[in-house]
Each structure stands twice: as C-alpha cells, then as structure tokens.
Structure 1
Amino acid sequence: MNRWVEAARPRTLPLALASILLGNLIALSEGHFSPQIAILAISTTLFLQILSNFANDLGDTLNGIDNQERKVAQRTVQTGKVTIPEMKKAVIILGILSFISGILLIYKSLQNTSFQEIIIFLLLGLLAILAAITYTIGKKPYGYAGLGDLSVFLFFGWVGTCGSYYLQSRIIDYSIFLPASSVGFLSVAVLNLNNLRDIDNDKINGKFSIPVRIGKEKGFLYQKSLYLLAIIFSTIFLGDTTKLNPYSAGIFLIGIFPLLFIYTKLKSNLSSEEIDPYLKKTALSTLWFIILLGISLQLTK
C-alpha cells in the first residue's frame, strides 16, 4: 500500500481540491449548495488527480525522462517499486473510477436539464480524463511540448471552479472567471516549480517545458508573476462593491501572506533539492488562500 500512496503523490491532492472548493464556496455564499454534489465533485477531482499522477509516473519512465540521472523526487516506476504492467492497470482503473464518479456527478447535478448541458459536461469530463493521460503518455505527449501550463490553467482553474459553481447554482456568472483564473495561475505555479526543479534532466531528454524554453532565470520571473496574477485577479473579484467589507478584506489578506512569503524566497540560484520543498508549500498555500477567500465571501452577505 505504501508504494501506491507514494505513486498517488499526496502533496498534490490539496491543489487538486482548490478549484472545486472555491466553486462550491462561491455557490454557498450565494445560497446554492448541495453536500452530495460537493462530495461527488471532490471525489471526481481526486480520482482525476491520482490518474494524472499515475500516468505521469508511467509516461516519464517509458519516455526516458525519469532515469538514473533523476535524484530528486524519484518516481515509483522509475525506482521499480511499481512495475510498468502494474501501473498500466492502475491507470486504466483510475480512468474508469474517474468516469463513473463523473457520471454520478452529472446525474446528481443536472437532473431536469437540457440534453445539451449534459453532453457539454460529459465531454468536459472525457477531455479531463484524456488530458490527464496524454500529458506524458503517447507518441507526442503535450506536456513535453510545453503545453502543460495551458492545460493545468484550464482544467485546474476555469473548468474546476466555474464547472463546480455551475453544478451547484445552475447560474452562468462570468465574474467567476476571475477567482477561477487565480486558482489556475497558482496551479501552473506548482507545475512550473516542478519543471524548474527538473530543468537540467528535461533539457537533456527532450522535454521542452516552459523553463527549458525560456531558461531558469526567466522561469523564476514567470513563477513570481503567477503568484502576483493570482492575487490581483482575486483582489479584483473581491473588490467588487457588492463583496468588499473590512472583515472579508482582512481574512483575504491573511490568505495572501504565505504566497508572498514564498515569493520572497524563490531565487534563480536555488538547486533542485532546494526548489523541491516549495512545491508542497505552494500547493498548501494555494489551498489556504482559497479557503480564506471562500470564508471572506461568506461574510459579504
């Protein structure tokens, strides 16, 4: 069991929950909330994140990215703790679990709705499963072309937040894209830290992540801009005259501090070993930021 827990990468799971929690908390602040929908959305997201981690573990080993040169954050297939056939089966199982959970979520959320809405969310779910698998698996994994940032932004930001908000409220509110973008930026920040940590090995083995393309120094500038954009977009959302009051603003500021602390600590001369702890710190700080943003919204009514 320990090897599968390691392969699931528990430190990535808080980040996966951030967008779902935010969408549900915004809906709750507006008087729309079903515990059953929230639970199904959380379970679907966790299955998708673990699926992505398993597929990434398998794909990077098959493509030679995870090799003997990788010394930091070694993977389970790379080290032989999980065999390739075992991980292939695990990817299939997690894909099935993600699909079943997603179907149950759609069934519970979209009763008495149009067929078109059901098809849209079904396609989004299938795309999420496909994106989780093809990030590193296949003849041309899109993650190796530097497109992982865009995928993470869309699915961990817009789809997760706006989708969960709509499933709870059945309301289309374009202002939700502001906080959804904040979650997306912070999710990309975790991915970019991962790529900054692995930049040397990725460069040698043909994985053209954003840091590989623009260099380590500019990669850190990109990293810091992601933190700032996340704070700016959420501030604009919360700063709406119908949402802002001293109490919500104070709680929101407390949520920002951990991100600003990480911002000040990241420098381009950090080694891979020194960068690695900031992945977990950023993931947890993102979850903290989202929870406090959600709490601040509850105080606006």
Structure 2
Amino acid sequence: MSVRNWLAAARLRTLPLAAASVLCGMLTAALQHRGNLTVSALCLLTALSLQILSNLANDYGDACNGADTLARKGPARMVSSGRISPAAMARGVKLTAAVSCLLGIALLCSALPAISAAEPQSWLLWLLLGAASVAAAFAYTAGKKPYGYIGLGDLAVLVFFGWLGVLGTEYLHTGRLNAASWLPATALGLWCAMVLNINNMRDIASDRLAGKTTVAVRLGLPRAKIYHTVLLLVAAAAWALWLPLHFGGGLFLLCAALLAASAIHLYLLKKAQFSAELDKLLPQWSITVLLWILLLWLNAPL
C-alpha cells in the first residue's frame, strides 16, 4: 500500500507532458541533424524527475495551505487523506529534489563540454536555469508564498514546459537556438497550460474556498472555458506556422490530425459541466499531447 500511495502522489498521468516537452526539443534538434543518445536520456530523466518533484510538492503544499479539503474533487491527495504523513512527504520532496539536481548536473556534464567549450560562462547560466526549475517545481503550491495561489501557474507552465523544456533540450543537443523553434516550444507550452487549466476548472469551488486564486477561479467556469479555447487556438496557429517549414509529404495528415484533436477536445470541454467530467479530460489531453509529438517524429524528414 505504501508503494501504491507514493505512486499515486507522483501522479503518473501527468508524466506524458514532461516527456512530450523533451521529445519535442529532441525533434527540433533532430531536424537540424543533431542528436546525442546520452543527452536525450538525461534530458528525459531530468524532466520526469522535476515533474514528480512538482507533484509531490503540490500534494504537500496544498495540504499545508488548506486547499485539499473534502470539497475538492478528483483523485485523492496523499497527505490530506492521511495516507502519507506531512513529514514523510517533506522527506520525499527533498529526496526527489536531490535526484533532480544530480540528474541535471549529469546532463550538463554530458552536454556542455561538447557544445560550449568556448563559453565557460554557459555553465553558470545552465546551473541557474536548473536551480530555477527545481525552485519552480517546489514553489508552485508549497512554501510561504506559492505562486500557484496568485494565478501564475499557467505562465510557469509555458516557461518551463514550453520554452525551457523544448528550447533547452534543443540547445543541449545542438549548442544553438533556432528562431523557428520558438513556435513549437510556445505551442507545446500552451497545450501543457491547458492541462493545468482543466485541473483548475475542476477545482474552482475548493480553490476559491481555500483562497487559491488561479486563473480559472478569477474567470469562473464559463470564461475559463473561453480562455482555454484561446490557448488552444493560439497553439494551433503556432503549429500551423511551423509545420510547413519542415514537413512536406505528411503535411496534410498532420494538419488533419491537429484539426481533429483540437475540435474533439473543444467538443468534450463544452459538454463537461461537472468536476468528474473535467477530470476525465486531464489524462485524455495529456496523452493527446504526447501522441501528437510521436506523430511528428513518425513524419519528420530525418
């Protein structure tokens, strides 16, 4: 039961987003004919570790800050339900943070000597970015002033899952940033922000009672759905601008898949009125994001 509780706290259904972020960055690097298996593996492990750290810290932080009450819908949280003690979860957060740091350092040791020997200052930059990633994973809902409680979670997802996740992975493979890669990085970041928005729409009632002022709480469910639609449309536009730059023969298939995935998701979102219905959209959209990246890999002119 203890192992099952820790797996539940890690929220494995959120991991496809972290994987998609790294796989997207690997793809933009591969399109430039650059790749490194060791760097790719360490990028993926680091991203997954940071996602688990965020999930454990979220379980701990929401319990400490009173957001996980009986009014909250969705899967049970481990600390608030008493299945894992606050002290044990705090130790788990520290251990996962340490693992994330070690993986990040191993990643930099593997990537940076080969791509930035002439720029020793890049080590400091990447160490700071790594530290920021660990801090952001913890401070989303944990600590004295969690930024997720003032509506900055969506922006953080765009930055860390989109821009840093995709562009950082690309840079660690290639040693450079392709200006066009900002399009898929932004699109993926917005798609990941949509997952957080679904989560926050589901929890509007309990978050409002706990003083957790997410974007969804500020907007209310009807306008939060409009905001969600805007995120999707901007992301789709970014994908549509980027795809013709690299994909030729498979362009029609990819555009059709993008349109179908977007339309189906919006239809399901429009129908969803209750927390349970919104909760079902979380794993569905997470898997859709990962499948989209895999479809890009299958059609990429490598």
Give the TM-score normalised by structure 2.
Answer: 0.95
- Corresponding residue number in structure 2 for 1:239: 244
Amino acid in the other structure paired with 1:54: L
Secondary structure in structure 2 of the residue aligned to 1:78:
coil
Q: 1:2 aligns with which of 1, 4, 27?
A: 4
- Corresponding residue number in structure 2 for 1:121: 126
Q: How does 1:217-256 map to 2 (within 5 A)?
A: 217-240=222-245, 243-256=246-259
Q: How does 1:198-277 map to 2 (within 5 A)?
A: 198-240=203-245, 243-267=246-270, 270-277=273-280
- Corresponding residue number in structure 2 for 1:29: 31
Check the 8 A contact 1:51/1:132 in 2, yes or no: yes
Check the 8 A contact 2:61/2:141 in 1, yes or no: yes
Distance, in Å, in 2 between the alignment partners of 1:52 and 1:229 is: 26
Q: How does 1:45-124 map to 2 (within 5 A)?
A: 45-112=47-114, 113=117, 114-124=119-129
- The runs of 5 or more residues in structure 1 that have no matched partner are none
Distance, in Å, in 1 between the alignment partners of 2:91 and 2:130 is: 20
Distance, in Å, in 2 between the alignment partners of 1:98 and 1:27 is: 23
Distance, in Å, in 2 between the alignment partners of 1:177 and 1:71 is: 36
Shift of 1:250: 1.7
Secondary structure in structure 2 of the residue aligned to 1:276:
helix
Structure 1's 6 and 117: CA in aligned 2 closer, same or farther, altered over 3 A?
Answer: same
- Corresponding residue number in structure 2 for 1:288: 291
Shift of 1:229: 1.6
Shift of 1:38: 0.3
For residues 211-241 of structure 1, the C-alpha deviation after alignment (integer angstroms, 9 at most, x for no partner) is 111111110011112222211101101123x
- Give aligned pairs, total: 297
Check the 8 A contact 2:244/2:251 in 1, yes or no: no
- The runs of 5 or more residues in structure 2 that have no matched partner are none
Distance, in Å, in 1 between the alignment partners of 2:38 and 2:205 is: 45
Shift of 1:31: 1.1
For residues 164-187 of structure 1, the C-alpha deviation after alignment (integer angstroms, 9 at most, x for no partner) is 001111122111110000110011
Amino acid in the other structure paired with 1:103: I
Shift of 1:262: 1.1
Shift of 1:68: 2.1
Check the 8 A contact 2:72/2:205 in 1, yes or no: no
Shift of 1:268: 7.2
Amino acid in the other structure paired with 1:118: W
Check the 8 A contact 2:202/2:275 in 1, yes or no: yes
- 4+ residue runs over 6 A deviation: none
Distance, in Å, in 2 between the alignment partners of 1:267 and 1:254 is: 20
Amino acid in the other structure paired with 2:24: L
Shift of 1:255: 4.8
Amino acid in the other structure paired with 1:258: A
Secondary structure in structure 1 of the residue aligned to 2:212:
coil
Amino acid in the other structure paired with 2:153: G
Shift of 1:198: 0.1
Check the 8 A contact 2:186/2:235 in 1, yes or no: yes
Check the 8 A contact 1:146/1:208 in 2, yes or no: yes
Q: Choose 251-260 or 171-180, whichever is displaced more.
A: 251-260
Q: 1:148 aligns with which of 150, 153, 157?
A: 153
Structure 1's 280 and 4: CA in aligned 2 closer, same or farther, altered over 3 A?
Answer: same
Distance, in Å, in 2 between the alignment partners of 1:167 and 1:249 is: 31
- Corresponding residue number in structure 2 for 1:171: 176
Secondary structure in structure 2 of the residue aligned to 1:267:
helix
Shift of 1:116: 1.3
Distance, in Å, in 2 between the alignment partners of 1:269 and 1:287 is: 22
Q: 1:157 aligns with which of 140, 155, 162?
A: 162
Distance, in Å, in 2 between the alignment partners of 1:259 and 1:37 is: 32
